[in-house]
Structure 1
Amino acid sequence: MVLRRFAWPFGGQRASFCGSFTGWRECPMGLVGTEFQVVFDLPPGLYQYRFLVDGVWRCDDTKPIVRDEYGLISNEMLVTLVENNTHPVVQREPSSIGRMNLDEGTILTTMPPESPSRNSGMQIAVFRHRVSEILLHNTIYDVVPVSSKIAILDARLPVKQAFNIMHDEGLALVPLWDDGQGTITGMLTASDFVLILRKLQMNIRVLGHEELEMHSVSAWKEAKLQYYGGADVAGMQRRPLVHVFSCTFSRLLSSD
Structure 2
Amino acid sequence: MFASAPDSGNGNSGVSRSLLIPMRFVWPYGGSRVFLCGSFTRWSEHIPMSPMEGCPTVFQVICSLSPGYHQFKFFVDKEWRHDEHQPFVIGDYGVVNTIFIAREPDMLPPSFSPETPGRSNMDLDDVSSQMEAAPTISNADLEVSRHRIAAFLSRHTAYELLPESGKVVALDVDIAVKQAFHILHEQGIPVAPLWDSCKAQFVGVLSALDFILILRELGNLGSDLTEEELETHTISAWKEGKVHISRQMDGNARSYPRRLVCAGPHDSLKDVALKILNGNVATVPITQSSSPDGLFPQLLHLATLSEILKCICRHFKHSSSSLPILQQPICSIPLGTRVPKIGESNRRPLAMLRPNASLGAALSLLVQVI
Higher share in strand: 1
Whether TM-score is above 0.5 comes out as no
Flag the structure with larger Rg.
1
Q: TM-score, normalization: structure 1? A: 0.35
